[in-house]
């Protein structure tokens, strides 16, 4: 594996001197193909930790789609409905449990996942490699690769696709370090285990937490541990459906993640699934077109003739009333926050996207307001007692 690996450059091309190296022995990974960059490795190492811990928390294979050191999506390997398969553009593919996990992870926010770095908890099988092979992606990290999977991956990007094999047995040192502006920081690594013990304290009147909601809250909490703070995650059916990362205000996190969750759900609307795309339009352009179709700008698109390049016939827009009716049917969504909610406005916004279960740190001086909002809206909320800040 080696003790050091030179990089093409750092975060930006002008930062020409860059490398990764092991502080205690060899690097815990091998590059099987390509030449991963600085940000690629940040995504790979954060992503690997996420999927490893998500599998440990749920017992199912996990996958994550990382962009700029936060997950655009993450999921466990549950089967996809016919509608979700169509929304994720995988109706024509056989899906193993691991491939289903990645289809869900990428499907959480397909626009943000464009050019992602993929993390897989298990050996990359042929089915998962076939799915990855046809998506725009920078690279993948996994503990192993099946013999029939590697040729599919190595053929990507003209043979330059980044393939990293991580040592599954590697455990990092207890202390970790970083430098900022010539100043060294040291802290104990966040080795907190995310498990059901965090979901035992219910200050709300509603205390019911079905097994599916517990699973989804664990998925969201593990993801938060490796999402740039402040962060909020919405989860449903074993996957993230909305991630709000790196916002200075928690309500902005909740709104951002909620808006993404709404778009994810609107992509399952029968009218969206039936959009008459031209056969030559690829998946990235279809994703962009769906995003515009669901936006307030669609009326302008109809007027400027762009639709003719995308569709075989002009699709009628979804009215605001139709969108609201579809979204109003959402229910049973789980939401987790990496720290406490200071105001009840977060609860109000979450409820609009079908949130019925919440896990958050607790301990705010305004906990009573947040609890009252949950009680009024019929939401079960758990105080985890832990923060999951990540920087």
Q: What is the pLDDT of residues 52-106, one digit of tens each?
A: 999 999 999 999 999 999 999 999 999 999 999 999 999 999 999 999 999 999 9
pLDDT band at 303 (very low <50, low <70, confident <90, very high): low
Class at the top of the CATH hierarchy for domain 4-171: alpha beta
Question: In whole numbers, what is the pLDDT of the chain averaged over residues?
Answer: 94
Respond yes or no: is residue 68 known to be catalytic: yes
Q: Is the pLDDT of residue 209 over 70?
A: yes
Q: Is the pLDDT of residue 171 over 70?
A: yes
**What residues does each domain of the chain span?**
4-171, 176-266+327-383, 270-317
- Residue of 67, 156, 225, 351 marked catalytic: 67
- Residue of 68, 206, 252, 352 marked catalytic: 68
- Count H helices and E strands in the chain, helices first: 14, 15
Q: Is the pLDDT of residue 12 over 90?
A: yes
Q: Is the pLDDT of residue 222 over 70?
A: yes
pLDDT band at 352 (very low <50, low <70, confident <90, very high): very high
**Which is more confidently placed, 304 or 386?**
386
pLDDT band at 381 (very low <50, low <70, confident <90, very high): very high
| Percent of the chain whose predicted confidence (pLDDT) is above 90 | 85
Q: Which fold has domain 176-266+327-383?
A: Cytidine Deaminase; domain 2 (3.40.140)
Respond yes or no: is residue 67 known to be catalytic: yes
Respond yes or no: is residue 14 known to be catalytic: no
pLDDT band at 301 (very low <50, low <70, confident <90, very high): low
- Residue of 33, 40, 46, 230 marked catalytic: 230
* pLDDT score at 304: 67
Q: How far apart are CA 143 and CA 122, in angstroms?
A: 6
Q: Where are the alpha helices (DSSP H) in the chain?
A: 38-58, 82-87, 97-107, 126-133, 150-154, 211-225, 250-266, 270-273, 283-293, 298-304, 307-310, 320-328, 345-352, 367-377
Q: Is the pLDDT of residue 329 over 90?
A: yes
């Amino acid at each position: 594996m080696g003790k050091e690996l030179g990089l093409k450059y750092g975060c930006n091309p002008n930062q020409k001197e860059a490398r990764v190296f092991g502080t205690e022995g060899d690097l815990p990974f091998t590059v099987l193909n390509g030449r991963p960059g600085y940000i690629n490795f940040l995504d790979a190492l954060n992503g690997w930790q996420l999927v490893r811990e998500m599998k440990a928390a749920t017992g199912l294979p996990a996958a994550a789609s990382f962009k700029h050191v936060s997950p655009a999506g993450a999921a466990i390997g549950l089967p996809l409905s016919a509608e979700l398969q169509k929304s994720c553009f995988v109706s024509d593919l056989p899906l193993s449990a691991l491939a289903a996990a990645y289809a869900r992870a990428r499907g959480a926010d397909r626009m943000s996942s464009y050019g992602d770095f993929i993390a897989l908890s298990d050996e990359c099988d042929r089915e998962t490699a076939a799915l990855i092979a046809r998506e725009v992606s920078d690279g993948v990290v996994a503990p192993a690769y099946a013999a029939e999977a590697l040729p599919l991956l190595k053929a990507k990007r003209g043979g330059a696709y980044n393939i990293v094999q991580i040592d599954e047995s590697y455990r990092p040192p207890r202390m970790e370090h970083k430098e900022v502006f010539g100043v060294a920081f040291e802290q104990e690594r966040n080795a907190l285990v995310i498990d059901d013990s965090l979901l035992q304290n219910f200050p709300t009147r509603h205390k019911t937490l079905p097994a599916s909601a517990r699973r989804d809250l664990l998925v969201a909490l593990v993801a938060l541990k490796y999402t740039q703070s402040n962060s909020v995650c919405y989860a449903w059916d074993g996957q993230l459906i909305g991630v709000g990362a790196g916002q200075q205000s928690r309500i902005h996190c909740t709104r951002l993640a909620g808006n993404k969750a709404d778009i994810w759900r609107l992509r399952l609307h029968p009218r969206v699934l039936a959009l008459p795309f031209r056969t030559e339009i690829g998946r990235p352009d279809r994703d962009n077109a769906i995003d515009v179709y669901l936006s307030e700008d669609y009326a302008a698109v109809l007027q400027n003739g762009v639709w003719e390049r995308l569709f075989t016939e002009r699709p009628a827009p979804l009215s605001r009333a139709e969108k609201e009716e579809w979204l109003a049917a959402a229910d049973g969504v789980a939401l987790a926050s990496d720290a406490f909610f200071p105001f009840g406005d977060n609860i109000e916004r979450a409820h609009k996207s079908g949130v019925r279960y919440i896990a958050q740190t607790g301990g705010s001086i305004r906990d009573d307001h947040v609890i009252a909002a949950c009680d009024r809206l019929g939401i079960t909320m758990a105080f985890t007692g832990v923060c999951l800040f990540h920087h």
